[in-house]
Structure 1
């Protein structure tokens, strides 16, 4: 028999509990166990006025942002709608059915104001990292570094070639927020001071973003999201936003390693990275700090004509010379100079040469220097550190490290495909930094929730 038509019947009173309607195995229950915002009000106390109308609870705003980044809700306007409709989101944000969801404009006002002034999002991220350390997910012995391109909220149609941009007169008082942030970061190594080379195009809306074609396809404006992770469980221990150039990404590595050492007392025994980080100065910096560089050496000394390369020559450190395969010496100096200016070059490179008479009579001249009178070899200032990396590259541990490096790439794939952060919504260096910090916080919280899920309560009959 067909049942009666279902019609909504108004009632005067309801008995409704969000706690009873959110499933015990819901992912937000596991995440909620690791979100501790009890100290956020004290942290922001100095950034609020003691008079005036009460503001929106900052804990509510942070919880809503975490929901958005954990579940890939990129639009704050849509986030407000989802929190209004979804019972689990309301439960996580500590909102009852009758509580009003804040307007989307509230996020912008707080982000551009007290959140950035207090570095709240950095504090939130570091609190999550500290929880991961407390739960035993971070040992600090092996770390990996990498960067990924994230498209900026800018396009070529609203850009200017570099020669025209230099001639433009910019008044910081009338410039948009992203342009003012760009002017403020010109002296920072992560942005304007990273390289003297000017990009081909500069965006009007977000001039700090980098015009790049690193993906071997159509060029676009982008920022680099730099991750420093602990390879035990793939926990992100630090994150930094930079321009999408190698010098800025390598410089961010030093910043992040120093920061985790000062903040969490983490000093890795090895650092894993790809060839972009295998430059002489970077390897020397790591070796000086007793960090084993499990990094391929960035080396252009190889030859394509089949002649002997620098690797075929033996380095004699005791006598400061190279020995060629035929047993001849290549020296930097063959007599003592009283003038210090005649010593090593100021560029940090030293040149070692063989005698012309020796090379002319050598039976292997065709394999060594067929187009020169004598063979010469250039040795960089950090060649000792480069040799340390070459020796490590022949070990079994290095092979394991190259497999562990994929964990960083997996995090970037998760960031773009699952969390939806393939293109930024916010502009400027501060906007990129805010988004990267929130995304890394969400990834660490999801990691904690998957490894330590919420205990299930037995169902009552």
Structure 2
């Protein structure tokens, strides 16, 4: 028989509270139990006046933004619409069924008037992370670092070319000292300190969001974007991140992130990173600090059909290279970029049968370069072949890559509607903080109800044993009575 739903239930009047309408296992209940958000009052009390009209609760403002990121709602306008009809969201904010929800522009106005240029959002992120650490959920033995790009809210056709000064490398002073020391060891004079003009580069600058950078997304698509270098632990909790323009390489923004990680997370032993971070300066710094860099094999970028660099064997004792034809390439100089140059004898190379696979130079001279910090790169290669390092590197797809996948697919990080580096940092502090809070809430909920389930299961187990034991005693006594009666009846 086909059933038909009676729509008269729509007009039925019932007496119920929001507490009764929100399911016991709903995510908002887990979030509410995971952390007490009232710490925000202390952080923002200096941003509000002591007199005047009462403002909207700052905890409510932050919770509205958290609802947007936790549940992956694309915009603040739609978030307010969802809150208006969702009893669970109203319960989380503390709003009644008929209470008016703040306008969607309220958060943006409060950010520009109160929260801008403050560290409120960094404090929220840190507070959630400290709560995670207090519950013992962090595993910082291995730190996983990688970068991802966020599409900027900027038209890719609206830009102008601008000539800007190229920033100096953060390790430039140490590198120049190392070059000077290396040249002295080889009997070379120090390089003349000439006042060279700052290197200038031409790049595209967006007219709608100048803080973003021109990013090549694949082979064909090019967009304005931001880059987020992020670090997480083995349990996928985000520990820290660094936001830059999309045209800044991961190995450049790594240094700001690493300085904070070294200060805050001193127990990180293994730094697991992809090939984009595999440069001599990073390898040197990590090894000097007692860390273990876990990096993959990086294919040499050599022209097809030519010998690779590993086909030339380095002799550390004589400080020279041996070519595949067993000829020697001697040291000649150390250049300003920190590379030692080893050159072959042009008379020998002219008659070499492998010349076409070795060099295209007009003077028939093969040049091999070796960085002054190349020894650290060789240590990284030795670490890569150590037992367990391959399995540790494979964990990236379960940790940092999973963090990026969840952030983009479930929490709206694929693109941003904000403009300016400061707002992007604010957004990522909230987004990553919400991801940490969601995981924290679920884990605490599972532990809580898992303990209750285990205790109830144990009680049931022992009560069943007690019941069976008592029944066994009763059956034993009944059997003894029957035997005694049988014996007496035969007598």
Normalising to structure 1: TM-score of the pair?
Answer: 0.79
User: Where does residue 241 of structure 1 map in the other structure?
Assistant: 243
CA contact (8 A) 1:250 1:277 kept: yes
After superposition, the Cα gap between the structure-2 partners of 1:216 and 1:113, relative to the gap in structure 1 and judged at 3 Å, is farther
Q: Secondary structure at the match of 1:226?
A: strand
Q: Following TM superposition, by how much is the alpha carbon of 1:32 offset from its aligned partner in structure 2, in angstroms?
A: 2.0
Residue number among 206, 209, 213 corresponding to 1:206 in the alignment: 209
Q: Which residue number corresponds to residue 400 of structure 2? A: 408
Structure-2 separation of matches of 1:46 and 1:4: 53
CA contact (8 A) 2:139 2:235 kept: no
Find the residue that maps to 1:419 and give its secondary structure: coil
**d(CA) in 2 for partners of 1:352 and 1:293?**
28
Q: Displacement of 1:438 after TM fit?
A: 1.5
The gaps in structure 1 that reach 5 residues or longer are 168-185, 334-342
Per-residue deviation, 1:422 = 2.0
Tell me: higher relative CO, structure 1 or 2? Use CA pairs within 8 A at least 6 residues apart. Answer: 1
Q: CA deviation at 1:363?
A: 8.0
Q: What value does the CA root-mean-square deviation take over the aligned residues?
A: 3.3
* Deviation of the 1:424 alpha carbon: 0.6
Aligned residues: 416
Match of 2:445 in 1: 453
Q: Which residue of structure 2 aligns with residue 36 of structure 1?
A: 36
CA distance in 2, matches of 1:46, 1:381: 52
In structure 1, distance between residues paired with 2:353 and 2:318? 25
Deviations 1:226-282 (A, max 9, x none): 22111x2111111222111353x323322222223333x334212112221112222
Distance between the aligned counterparts of 2:357 and 2:309, measured in 1? 10
**Helix, strand or coil at the partner of 2:287:** helix
Distance 1:142 1:6, change over 3 A: closer
Quick one: distance in 2 between partners of 1:221 and 1:404? 30
Deviation readout 1:34-57 (Å, 9 max, x if unpaired)? 233232111122222233222211
The answer to whether the aligner puts 1:227 opposite 2:230 as a matched pair is: yes
CA apart distance, 1:153: 1.0
- Going from structure 1 to structure 2, the CA distance change for 1:267 and 1:321 (only over 3 Å counts) comes to farther
Deviations 1:390-444 (A, max 9, x none): 2222234332133111122222221122223322111111121122221111211
Native 8 Å contact 1:226 1:252 kept in 2: yes
Length-normalised TM-score, structure 2: 0.75
How far apart, CA to CA, are the structure 2 residues paired with 1:68 and 1:370? 59
Asked if residue 101 in structure 1 is aligned to residue 101 in structure 2, the reply is yes
Other structure's SS at 1:150 match: strand
Work out whether residues 303 and 309 of structure 1, in 8 Å CA contact, stay in contact via their aligned partners in 2. no
Tell whether the 8 Å contact from 1:246 to 1:276 is kept in structure 2 after alignment. Answer: no
For the pair 1:322 / 2:325, whether they are aligned, the reply is no
Could you say which residue in structure 1 is the equivalent of 2:177? Answer: none
Contact persistence 1:153–1:427 (CA under 8 A): yes
Q: Supply the distance in 2 between the matched residues of 1:103 and 1:367 (Cα, whole angstroms).
A: 69
Larger Rg: 2
Deviation at 1:284, TM superposition (A): 2.5
**1:311–1:92 distance in 2 versus 1, CA, 3 Å:** farther
Identify the residue that residue 339 of structure 1 maps to in structure 2: none
Task: Report the CA distance between 1:448 and its aligned residue.
Answer: 1.8
Aligned to 2:417: 425
Quick check: 1:279–1:298 contact (8 Å CA) kept in 2?
Answer: no
Determine whether 1:441 maps to 2:433. yes
Q: Flag the structure with higher helix content.
A: 2
For the Cα contact (< 8 Å) 2:125–2:430, is it kept in 1?
Answer: yes
**Match of residue 389 from structure 1:** 380
For residues 367 and 96 of structure 1, the distance between their equivalents in structure 2, rounded to whole angstroms, comes to: 78
* Counterpart-to-counterpart distance in 1, 2:120 and 2:326: 63
Please tell me whether the aligned partners of residues 301 and 310 of structure 1 are also in contact (alpha carbons under 8 angstroms).
no
Shift of 1:375: 3.8
Describe how 1:124-273 pairs up with structure 2 within 5 A: 124-157=124-157, 159-162=158-161, 197-199=201-203, 201-230=204-233, 232-247=234-249, 249-263=250-264, 265-273=265-273
Alignment partners' CA distance in 1, 2:7 and 2:364: 103
Q: Which 4+ runs in 1 deviate beyond 6 A?
A: 186-190, 360-367
Q: Which secondary structure does the structure 2 equivalent of 1:405 belong to? A: helix
2-side partners of 1:72 and 1:308: how far apart?
A: 48
Deviations 1:142-163 (A, max 9, x none): 1111122211111134x1331x
> CA separation in 2, counterparts of 1:287 and 1:345?
24
Q: Given that residues 150 and 416 in structure 2 are in contact (C-alpha distance below 8 angstroms), is that contact kept between their aligned partners in structure 1? A: yes
